[in-house]
Amino acid sequence: MKEEYISAEEAAKSIGLHPATLRKLAWQRRIRSFKVLGALRFKRSDLEELVVERPKEESNESKSRR
């Protein structure tokens, strides 16, 4: 199966983040990214892994705000 690479804008929209936030995560190496002809690209499978990890972090944040 061929891996799909998508732009930062499309990737951010698919997981509910702002593109700048996604780029920051890439810069911090919290998510893998690739440069293709100077443009940042993400593997769809890497984004799916990030989405699986995110709810755990959000549930901890919501408990600490109470």
Q: pLDDT tens, 3-35?
A: 889 999 999 999 999 999 999 999 999 999 999
**CA 24, CA 60: separation in Å to the nearest integer?**
21
The domain over range 5-61 is classified in CATH as 1.10.1660: yes
pTM here is: 0.70
Domain ranges in the chain? Answer: 5-61
When the pLDDT of each residue in the chain is averaged and rounded to a whole number, the result is 83
**CA 4, CA 9: separation in Å to the nearest integer?**
15
pLDDT band at 52 (very low <50, low <70, confident <90, very high): confident
